[in-house]
Amino acid sequence: MNITGAELPRTSVSGMPRIGARRELKRALESYWAGRVGAEALSAVGAEVRRANWVAGAAAGIDLIASNDFSLYDHVLDAAVLVGAIPARYLPAAGPPGLDTYFAMARGGSVAGVALEPLQLTKWFGTNYHHLVPELGPHTRFAVSSDKAFGELAESAALGIATKPVLLGPLSLLRSSRPDPGFDPLSLLDPLVQVYVEVLERLSEQGAAWVQLDEPILATDLGGADLAALAKVYRRLGEAGQRPRIVFCTSYGHVTPAMGTLVDLPVEGIGLDLCAGPSNVDALAGAGGLGARALFAGVVDGQRPWAADLRTTLAVLESLQDQAAHVVVSTSTSLLHLPVSLEPETNMDREVRSWLAFATEKLHELGVLADGIEHGRAAIAAELEASDEAVRRHERSDLILDPAVRARVSRLGPNDDRRAGTPESRRAAQAARLGLPVLPTTTIGSFPQTAELRAARVARSKMDMDEATYAARLREEVSRVVAMQEELGLDVIVHGEPERDDMVRYFAAQLDGFALTQDGWVQSYGSRCVRPPILFGDVSRPEPMTLEWATYAASLTSRPVKAMLTGPLTMLAWSFPRTDLSRQDVATQLALAISDEVRDLAAAGMAVIQVDEPGLAELVPLRRTECEAYLEWATRAFRLAVAPAAEDVQVHSHMCYAEFGVLLPALARMEMDVLSLEAVRSAMALLGDLASTGSPAQIGPGVYDVHAPRVPEVDELAGLIRRAVSVLGPERVWVNPDCGLKTRSYAEVAPVLANLVSATQLVRAELEAEPAIVVPA
Ligand code: GLN
Ligand code: ZN
């Protein structure tokens, strides 16, 4: 595997954002799904997004520009389709899979008149990107089933730009899939590798000099069988008759346990993430280096939006020169996790902006670093000086350090994260104050965001509507939503969150320490994008954030109103993090800022406060050995946030994902009184586990799936409630949907909530008639 020749690449990009600088692809997809445009228009927009990325790479002088990093929905789905891992139910008609099959797998839909559920979605290696989960089983038959990778290679060549096709590697594809129960996905390895061999041959025939095989799974804990399989697979691929040079690309963390295997793989390049996994440097040296292979040194951060410290990075690159025959300056991951460009961000604080680099700016950094390596520091003296100056300004900026916040954190005592009372005494105090019936009903917070609401928000942001008119409009919405809940007979009322466009951004806008982007959209899944706030400095809360809405709603009803907050872990998970302070310390600051809000809400008489933590699971480390430390500081941050809630203030939390895994035992340490969660899609399977963790919390397993456009009947809902009661006992069960209602319409929400209340009344009556007998569903 000697890597020689005059044309060794200096720079490589693992992948680019693919939703379009102005979210063109999002709009095209949604128009296509709505039937407003055809497949040709959609494909033209995709081609334009790819062209823009290739041209940007070429303009920055990047040697290995990625192709096949684009996707109409998800690159894991693309990989499954490439190798033909398409479950039979998506192929009711004969013939090759078309766009309707692809989108049915992605988001449900109908193929040849048959209605189909989509594949499951799950998180991609600790990022906020979600991928589809392919299904594998004994019936899986692999065969090259898509021309996408070949088509994109030809398309870039036609533009005069040679590209490096990117493929999800075979091991990561198998391990990112869901095997049938009892089925070992590794048993599919041989036929799968055969397909990859064919793909490599075809790419080589088409003229690809390099191919990138992504194996992010190496950043997780793998067993010996996986490492043995890895060695075997890559031996086969390495021996393929005709193939491009292979860069075996890892990302999202260190790969220390596998390093010994990696340095022996018969491939021409190994990619290491030196940003999320700086310990890779020592691990590589420990394994004796890469010998005659090239090291694709992932020094330009693909996950975080900060400009590189060029001098420090250059020193890292220099220190790596004797670990490999050649060093290629690379991104640490695909740039998919970053906005396209800083250019439109004209409203941002200029100083903060000067510390940032988005995807386009990162391309430039790669080139500068490569020049520094090739021609020496003198060749990039001006860039180094500018970077040094930016680093100095950043470090010394009084925007990032708030002495009052630091002092407050350092004063924290061992009991400041403890609520008053015991679970039992809180329960009694809350029961006395709230007087709720058995099986209390509530919702998760948001009500439908109507077209009128969205229009008002847009008008307000363009200054076409004055603040007073906008606020009046929102108050009207709150009073309508409160009246509706009273009429429906819900027990704990919410204000409906009409003022929030995004549960993290709304709070970030009101906290010190955050900057917001105008156009910094990042793909979350499919056509869904978010604008993560940028957490650059110490966090504090100058003014109450939600008090006005909560107290206004409370003034409209005699029933208890639940105030809604986003929790510290979710604020952290869904923002771009700072790198000069540990996540643990940032979480503590966020927790204190939110605790200020909890204190104010409680002082204003709010008896129920919900602190949402759907992000708690997203920060769970990829490696099991790091989980306990995470759960220690994460649960403490949550407790700090809710600690000001007195015994008679009921603290709710909400989490929505199907897999609780390592989180289950941690829930009991969070000192919440009521936890609502997603349960419909996991068929309430969680309840038994929850019942046995010793969590004192009452639990609201979601009985209505907010993601499905259907209205469940009373009987179906009653069945789910009975089932929850049979596992948890009637005293612990709340009845609620499984997430916020903001993406649904009132036409669905009104009958759903009416059925939910009727179902609850039915089960209450059964319990009253025969309290001892709970009929399992
Ligand atoms: N309170 C939020 C809502 O109802 C919770 C959203 C979430 O869990 N992602 O919209
Ligand atoms: Zn939710």
Report pLDDT digits (tens) over 32-59: 999 999 999 999 999 999 999 999 999 9
Task: Compute CA distances 716 → 664, 756, 758, 760, whole Å.
Answer: 27, 10, 11, 11
376: left (phi over 0), alpha (psi -120 to 50) or beta: left
How far is Cα 7 from Cα 505, in angstroms, rounded to an integer? Answer: 46
Catalytic residue, candidates 130, 254, 652, 707: 707
Q: Give the per-residue pLDDT at 322.
A: 96
DSSP assignment letter at 526: T
CA of 655 to the centre of ligand 2 (A): 6
Tell whether the model's pLDDT for residue 7 goes beyond 60: yes
Task: Compute CA distances 339 → 12, 53, 520, 522, whole Å.
Answer: 19, 13, 5, 5
pLDDT band of residue 241 (cuts 50, 70, 90) is confident
Q: Are 13 and 63 spatial neighbours (Cβ–Cβ below 8 Å)?
A: no
- Which ranges of 355-412 would DSSP assign to H, the alpha helix? 359-375, 381-396, 403-410
Q: Are 129 and 72 spatial neighbours (Cβ–Cβ below 8 Å)?
A: no
Looking at all shown ligands, the one closest to residue 739's CA atom is: 2
Residue nearest to atom 3 of ligand 1 (CA): 740
Q: Are 138 and 180 spatial neighbours (Cβ–Cβ below 8 Å)?
A: yes
Q: Give the per-residue pLDDT at 588.
A: 98
Report pLDDT digits (tens) over 702-754: 999 888 778 999 999 999 999 999 999 999 999 999 999 998 999 999 999 99
How far is Cα 595 from Cα 599, in angstroms, rounded to an integer? Answer: 6
Q: Give the per-residue pLDDT at 777.
A: 42
Q: Letter for the amino acid at 587?
A: A
Tell whether the model's pLDDT for residue 776 goes beyond 60: no
412: left (phi over 0), alpha (psi -120 to 50) or beta: beta
Residue nearest to atom 4 of ligand 1 (CA): 740
How far is Cα 50 from Cα 412, in angstroms, rounded to an integer? Answer: 51
The CA-based angle 251-365-536, given to 5 degrees, is 75
Count Cβ neighbours within 10 Å for each residue of 109-121 and write b for 16 or more, e otherwise: bebeeeebebbeb
Tell whether the model's pLDDT for residue 188 goes beyond 60: yes
Q: Give the per-residue pLDDT at 3.
A: 64
Q: Give the per-residue pLDDT at 601.
A: 98
pLDDT band of residue 648 (cuts 50, 70, 90) is very high
CA of 737 to the centre of ligand 1 (A): 11
Token digits of residue 447 = 């009500």
How far is Cα 364 from Cα 56, in angstroms, rounded to an integer? Answer: 10
pLDDT band of residue 774 (cuts 50, 70, 90) is low
pLDDT band of residue 658 (cuts 50, 70, 90) is low
* SS3 of residue 231 by DSSP: helix
Give the residues surrounding ligand 1 with Cβ less than 6 Å away: 444-446, 497, 503, 564, 612, 614, 654, 656, 739-740, 742
User: What are the residues whose beta carbons fall under 8 Å from the beta carbon of 565, sequence distance 6 or more?
Assistant: 507, 545, 546, 594, 597, 598, 601, 609, 610, 611, 612, 641
Looking at all shown ligands, the one closest to residue 615's CA atom is: 1
Find the distance separating the first CA and the last CA of the chain, reported in whole Å.
Answer: 61
What's the whole-number mean pLDDT along residues 498-506?
Answer: 95
What's the whole-number mean pLDDT along residues 748-765?
Answer: 98
DSSP assignment letter at 247: E
pLDDT band of residue 1 (cuts 50, 70, 90) is low
Q: Give the per-residue pLDDT at 146.
A: 95
Token digits of residue 250 = 């890892």
Burial class (CB in 10 A: 0-12, 13-18, 19+), 346: exposed
* SS3 of residue 677 by DSSP: strand
Distance between alpha carbon 53 and the CA centroid of its chain, in Å? Answer: 23
CA of 614 to the centre of ligand 1 (A): 8
Looking at all shown ligands, the one closest to residue 657's CA atom is: 2
pLDDT band of residue 660 (cuts 50, 70, 90) is confident
DSSP assignment letter at 134: -
What's the whole-number mean pLDDT along residues 562-579?
Answer: 97
Residue nearest to atom 5 of ligand 1 (CA): 740
Rounded to 5 degrees, φ, ψ at 514 are: -115, 145
CA of 742 to the centre of ligand 2 (A): 10
User: What are the residues whose beta carbons fall under 8 Å from the beta carbon of 184, sequence distance 6 or more?
Assistant: none
Tally helices (H) and strands (E) across the chain.
27, 24
Q: Are 145 and 157 spatial neighbours (Cβ–Cβ below 8 Å)?
A: no
Burial class (CB in 10 A: 0-12, 13-18, 19+), 295: buried
Q: Are 411 and 620 spatial neighbours (Cβ–Cβ below 8 Å)?
A: no
Q: Which residue is associated with the tokens 């903060």?
A: 352
pLDDT band of residue 5 (cuts 50, 70, 90) is low
**Residue 500 CA: which ligand 1 atom is closest?**
10
Q: What percent of the chain has pLDDT over 70?
A: 98
How far is Cα 408 from Cα 395, in angstroms, rounded to an integer? Answer: 21
Report pLDDT digits (tens) over 307-355: 999 999 999 999 999 999 999 999 999 999 999 999 999 999 999 999 9
pLDDT band of residue 689 (cuts 50, 70, 90) is confident
Q: Give the per-residue pLDDT at 692.
A: 78
Burial class (CB in 10 A: 0-12, 13-18, 19+), 315: exposed
Tell whether the model's pLDDT for residue 516 goes beyond 60: yes
Q: Which residues pair with 446 in a beta bridge?
A: 496
**Residue 739 CA: which ligand 1 atom is closest?**
8
Q: Give the per-residue pLDDT at 95.
A: 74
User: What are the residues whose beta carbons fall under 8 Å from the beta carbon of 21, sequence distance 6 or more?
Assistant: 52, 340, 341, 519
| Most distant CA atoms of the chain, gap in Å | 86
Task: Compute CA distances 408 → 402, 405, 537, 588, whole Å.
Answer: 10, 5, 15, 10
DSSP string, 692-706: HTT---EEEEEEE-T
CA of 533 to the centre of ligand 1 (A): 17
- Which ranges of 189-248 would DSSP assign to H, the alpha helix? 189-205, 224-239
Dihedral sign of CA atoms 78, 84, 86, 92 in order: positive
* SS3 of residue 34 by DSSP: coil
Q: Are 65 and 161 spatial neighbours (Cβ–Cβ below 8 Å)?
A: yes
pLDDT band of residue 682 (cuts 50, 70, 90) is low
337 a catalytic residue: no
Q: What is the pTM of this model?
A: 0.95
- Ligand 1 pocket test, pick from 121, 492, 503, 742 with the greatest ligand atom count within 8 Å of Cβ, gives 503
